[in-house]
Amino acid sequence: MNFFEQQAQARRSTTRLVVLFALAVAGIVLAIDLAVAAVAGPNWGLLAFSTLATLAVIGLGSLYRLASLRGGGDAVALQFGGTPVPQDTTDASLRRLRNVVEEISIASGVPMPSLYVLENEAAINAFAAGYSTSDAAIAVTRGALDRLNRDELQGVIAHEFSHVLNGDMRLNIRLMGVLFGILMISLIGRKVLYLGGGRDRNAAAIMMAALVALVVGSIGTFFGRMIKASVSRSRERLADASAVQFTRQTAGLAGALKKIAGLSDGSRLSDRADAEEASHMLFGDGVGFSGLFATHPPLLERIQALEPGFRSEQLERLRGQWALTPPSGLQEDRMMGLDGHAGALPARDAHLDVTPPMVSAQVGNPEADDYVRADAIVHGMPGSLRTLAQSREAVLPLVLGLLLDDDAGIRGRQLPEITARLGEEVARGALALHGGDLAGLHPMQRLPLAALAFPVLRRRPRPELEAFLDTVHAVVHGDGKVSLFEYCLARLLEVQLRESLDPRRHARFGRRKPGSVRQEFATLLAVVAQAGNPGDPAAAQRAYLAGLQRVLPRDHLPYAPPANGALALDEVWPALDALEPLAKQLMVEAVTAAASHDGRISVAESELLRTICGVLHCPLPPGLEAA
């Protein structure tokens, strides 16, 4: 699965969505105009009015729904009845869910999403929502928590993470918004018929108009279901395949699908209206449509793609077994001993053998080794740090502690900046953590620890979040001398949190070509080359040229490291992030070539590369050395 190709495909799907939406609108307008002409005759003024009124209703309906989804993943999860999962929950099933999502988040290089449970839904289902990784939310039903064992839950969550990685989330949320507009005519007709037209002399005309709107509105319903089905089915097959590739086994995902097929509750949600609106986002069919309107491949087909020898007779036996004794996920965990087995982290001074294509192939494409490494990263962290990352009170000093410099003189200038903005208690806490638990943290654990803190940070009030981001900026730029890692970690924090304040504004697929960002690209390569070869300008120049030849082989941009070092990158990120997906793939390969021009890359350089990828929305898993 190529992340960059899937992002490009998602962008093309967005274009197709616009075309299909335009065709649906044209069909509705034509049907309304024909109805008006049949009643009033060929009155061109009236027909023009009906056309404009229909377009206005559809347009305003879409704009209204998109505005209601402006808050991103959290807004969607809350609108569909999600209950936030507490950071410090002691509920065994919720704790298991949080642990599974943390591990998959680290393995994929995606910041920890917000978690929700649909408590009133006994069916097995889940969805991911949001405009980007900065505002992603994952919601699972209570039925999924109760019925699925840990491996099965991992399969479902990995499936949802695939939607996060492949750009499906923003496509799905936009789909919800635009389709609401073409359903407006039908909704208005249904509402008027339900309320009645009153007793005045115009009541009959009003009721007739409402009936026409309901009938014509069925065209919108038809097109809406067709659009969702055409966009969704292929993406669901891809998500199944990605989940298997990610979690290293087929049994978990196949087991979840078998339980959906074999239990009476299946995956259908109790609130049919909500289920139909979100049907294209769900893990399993939440409504019960089939044929042309099916948003998911048939369950048996999905199971057989994972287990080719599985037959319908086996499914019937499972139905009979579970009708007598429904499965319990937690009980199955205890019987099968499904506990994580942590791997080992590489030595701090290790050098990894990598190639640029190898790294770009891993972006957004976690493999089995990445999951094992994520397990090692999570379980290798001091428990106290994981607890602090989930604490509303402690998360600010924890993240700022990661940014404090090892040089006492620079720290002496950073701490007053924290005190002035957030208070002396936060500054003392950051200093204590920097010299305590954070001092022994493996380089590969710093970014994952920050990523685990994102959901807690995102829930802080906007003024507090603005003050925190201002503090991060001041700490990093305090003396104008900052390491590339500290700069990039701070930038990653700023990107993720600022986007979470207004997710819809930042949701976009880039369209720029490499040739349009020559100078910005050269600056990034120069900074990376200089940081990887301090004190050796000749080696830095060779590293720079190795990267430049990957993307701009005919250009002769001279090696010119900026005087202000990493701070020069402030000017390049917007242009580089606006590159089209496949151009970003070339850029990732170029940065890798610069960092590994001698054929090897250090653990510290691999973390630097991961940070750059995170800033540019190309999540990189933590297991480069496993390749």
Please report where in the chains the tokens 């991911």 appear, as a residue.
Answer: 128
160 catalytically annotated: yes
Q: What is the C-alpha separation between 302 and 451, in angstroms, rounded?
A: 32
Q: What is the C-alpha separation between 487 and 583, in angstroms, rounded?
A: 24
Amino acid at 320: G
Residues in contact with 87: Cβ distance below 8 Å, sequence separation at least 6, in sequence order: 98, 390, 391, 392, 455, 456
Q: What is the C-alpha separation between 358 and 423, in angstroms, rounded?
A: 45
Residue count of the chain:
627
Q: What is the C-alpha separation between 435 and 503, in angstroms, rounded?
A: 35
Beta-bridge partners for 118:
141
| Among 221, 133, 119, CA closest to 170 | 133
Q: What is the C-alpha separation between 403 and 576, in angstroms, rounded?
A: 24
> Which candidate in 102, 103, 152, 160 is catalytic?
160
Classify 542 as helix, strand or coil. Answer: helix
| Among 377, 383, 422, CA closest to 401 | 422
Q: From the CB of residue 151, how many other CB atoms can be counted at a distance below 10 Å?
A: 21
Please report where in the chains the tokens 């077994």 appear, as a residue.
Answer: 321
Helix 395-403 vs helix 408-422: angle between axes, to the nearest 10 degrees? 150
Detail the DSSP E strand segments found in 316-382: 351-353
What tokens were used for 578? Answer: 């606006």
| Among 25, 38, 249, 235, CA closest to 151 | 249
Q: What is the C-alpha separation between 146 and 328, in angstroms, rounded?
A: 6
Q: Mapped to the 3 state alphabet, what secondary structure does 252-269 carry?
A: HHHHHHHHHHHCCCCCCC
Q: What is the DSSP secondary structure assignment for residue 114, as one 8-state letter?
A: E
Residues in contact with 409: Cβ distance below 8 Å, sequence separation at least 6, in sequence order: none
Q: What is the C-alpha separation between 276 and 98, in angstroms, rounded?
A: 28
Q: What is the C-alpha separation between 441 and 133, in angstroms, rounded?
A: 25
Helix 443-458 vs helix 484-501: angle between axes, to the nearest 10 degrees? 20
Q: How many H helices and E strands in the chain?
A: 28, 6
**Using an 8 Å Cβ cutoff, are 508 and 617 in contact?**
no
Active site residues: 160
